[in-house]
Amino acid sequence: MEQIKTDLMTINMGPQHPSTHGVLRLELKTDGEIVDSCRPYLGYLHRCFEKHCESLDYLKIVPFTDRMDYLAAMNNNWAFALAVEKMMGIEVPEKCEYLRVIVSELNRIASHIIAFGTFGLDIGAFTPFLLAFNQRELIFDLLEEASGARMLYNYIWVGGVARDVTSEWLKKVKGFCESYKPVINEIDDLLSYNKIFVSRAANVGIVPKDLAIDYGFTGPNLRGSGIEFDLRKDEPYSIYDKFDFDVPIGSGEEGTLGDCWDRYMCRIRETRESIKIIEQALEGISLEGDIYEAVPKNFNKMPKGEVYVRSETPRGEMGIYIVSEGGKAPTPYRCKVRSPAFCALSILEKIAKGVMISDIIVILGSIDIVLGEVDR
C-alpha cells in the first residue's frame, strides 16, 4: 500500500511564548504533533555585555554582571570578582569569603526554586509555583537586607563585599534554613513524585553521559546525566573546601538516566546541600574582621596578561576570561563569558527530533536557561 506523505509544517514558538523562559524563538518543523527539527534563534535579548566591558573600569562592570543570569546575580558578581582578584593577586578577608558563600548559596536556592516552580507551571501544576515564589520572597527579604536590592544586588565587589551584615541578619538566615527543610519534603509530595508530573518528565529529553560531555553540559544538567562533577567539590575555590556536602546526580530513578526528571530532581536535592553549606558557614563566620581588601581605584596596577576563572553558578560552570593591557589602562582589553545556559540550549536541536510538541516545553524547562546569560 502506498504511504501517504505530508509536508512538514513550520511553527514559530516564541519569542513571546511564555514557556520559552525569555525572549527565545524556537523554529519547529512538525509532522502533525511530532517534531522533526527544533532550531533555537537567539539575539532578542542581546545587550553587548562583553563589548561594554571594554569601555568600563573593573568596578563598574560588576552591576552589568547582575543582568546576565538575573536569577542568580550574586553568583555572577562572584565569578567576575574572582577573575579580577586572580589577575591582581588580591586575597580577600576570611569574613568576606564566608559572606560570599552564604549569599551565593541563598541565591542558588532561590534560582533552583524558580526552576522548580516554572517547570511545574509549564506542565500545568499551578500550586507548586505559588509555593516556590513564597520561598523565593523569603530569600529576597534576606538578600535585600544585606545588599539593599531584591534581585540585582551589586553586592560582591572586587576585593570584598559592599556592606557588612549584623548578627540579627545571620540569625534570620539560620531561621530560614530551618524553615526551608520541611518545604523540600512538601515539594516532593506536591510535584517531584506526583504521578502526572513523573509521566510527563521521565523518559523525555534523555541526554546520555557522552552527549552531555560533547555539548559542554555543566551544573545540574551534567549531573542529571549521572556525572558527578561540581567545581565547588572537584576544584574548590574560595573556602568551599571547608564544607561537607554531597553532589546529587541523576540515577534514572523514575525513568531513564539523563531525562528531564533527573535534571529537575538534581536541582531539588541541591537545595538541601546548599542549606548544609549555609549552616556550616554560619557556624564558622566571625562578626569581627574586615569585609573589603583595599583595591586601587584607578586600577593602574593591573598587570598585563590574561586570566580565566570558572565558578559553579546555579546553571553550571560560568567562565570569565579577561585580557589586560596593563599599565594605565583602567578597562579590560577583552572580556569573554562562558555561559552554561548557552551550552545547554545548544543541545535542543539534537534531542528534540521525534518528540511531541508538548515535550519541547518539558525539555526546555528541564535545562533551566536564562536568556540574559545566553545572549549577554
Of 27-31, 34-38, 293-297, give the lowest mean pLDDT range: 293-297
Residues 183, 275 contacting (CB under 8 angstroms): no
Residue 369 has pLDDT above 80, yes or no: yes
Residue 299 has pLDDT above 70, yes or no: no
The mean pLDDT value for 211-221 works out to 93
The burial of 220, by beta-carbon neighbours within 10 Å (0-12 exposed, 13-18 middle, 19 or more buried), is given as buried
Residue 5 has pLDDT above 70, yes or no: no
The residue assigned the cell 588580591 is: 90
Q: State residue 46's pLDDT score.
A: 87
Across the chain, what does the average pLDDT equal?
Answer: 90
Distance CA 73, CA 292 (A): 19
Q: State residue 326's pLDDT score.
A: 79
Residue 166 has pLDDT above 70, yes or no: yes
Name, in order, each residue with C-beta under 8 angstroms of 101's C-beta and a sequence gap of 6 or more. Answer: 238, 239, 240, 243, 277, 278, 281
Torsion, Cα of 274, 278, 280, 282 (10° steps): 180
Q: State residue 313's pLDDT score.
A: 94
Residue-wise pLDDT tens digits, 247-266: 999 998 888 999 999 999 99
Distance CA 344, CA 370 (A): 10
Domains of the chain: 9-375 (1.10.645.10)
The residue assigned the cell 553568583 is: 75
Distance CA 103, CA 154 (A): 12
- Highest-pLDDT range among 105-114, 181-190, 300-309: 105-114
Q: How far is CA 174 from the centre of its chain?
A: 23
Residues 296, 265 contacting (CB under 8 angstroms): no
Name, in order, each residue with C-beta under 8 angstroms of 108's C-beta and a sequence gap of 6 or more. Answer: 72, 75, 270, 271, 274, 313, 314
Distance CA 80, CA 61 (A): 9
In the chain, the percentage of residues whose pLDDT exceeds 90 is 65
DSSP for 147-181, please give it: HS-SS----EETTEESS---HHHHHHHHHHHHHHH
The residue assigned the cell 546520555 is: 208
How many C-alpha atoms does 367 have within 13 Å on its Cβ side? 33
Q: State residue 111's pLDDT score.
A: 94
Q: State residue 303's pLDDT score.
A: 85
Q: Beta-carbon neighbour count of residue 199 at 10 Å? A: 14
pLDDT confidence of 225, banded at 50, 70, 90? very high
Q: Looking at the chain, how many residues does it have?
A: 376
Please give the biggest Cα pair distance in the chain: 83
Residue 294 has pLDDT above 80, yes or no: no
Distance CA 13, CA 11 (A): 6
Distance CA 251, CA 261 (A): 10
Please give the single-letter amino acid code of residue 57. D
Q: How far is CA 285 from the centre of its chain?
A: 25
Q: State residue 300's pLDDT score.
A: 65
Torsion, Cα of 51, 52, 55, 57 (10° steps): -120
Q: State residue 15's pLDDT score.
A: 85
DSSP assigned state of 281: H
